[in-house]
Amino acid sequence: MPWHLYLMAAVYIIAGIMHFAKPRLYMRILPGYLPGHKFLVAFSGLAEIFLGAALCFAATKNFAIYFVIAMLAFFLPVHFHMLFDKKASMGLPKWMLIWRIPLQFLLMFWAYWYLRF
């Protein structure tokens, strides 16, 4: 498997670990209509760690790719929430918040691209 697939895996594993290192940061960006912010932060962190690790093995790579794409799709409402809610925006510039939305789709495509290998 190409080295950049392992780079993607590392990105998701590190992102997942950050959910436990800075949980309040992640809880702050979740829309208010979602229940159980602590649970959602922990669950999504574990999912990112698990899926990142699963990307590293040929037997689980495709499974992980499909679930990474689904996970990124489920994260889209958070990015819109950050764009329109000042508290959730963490003081990031508007251009950066806007850019995060197409970035999600680029990340989905990056994952999808590895189904060829």
Q: What is the mean pLDDT of the chain?
A: 97
pTM above 0.85, yes or no: yes
Domain residue spans of the chain = 3-116
- Mind listing the pLDDT tens digit for each residue in 68-101? 999 999 999 999 999 999 999 999 999 999 999 9
User: Token match 């912010």: residue?
Assistant: 37
Q: Which residues contact 109 (CB under 8 A, 6 or more apart)?
A: none
- Name residues whose C-beta falls within 8 Å of residue 25's C-beta, 6 or more positions apart in sequence: 18, 90
Quote the pLDDT of residue 99. Answer: 97
Question: How much is the pLDDT for 1?
Answer: 86
Q: Is 42 exposed, middle or buried (0-12, 13-18, 19+ CB in 10 A)?
A: middle
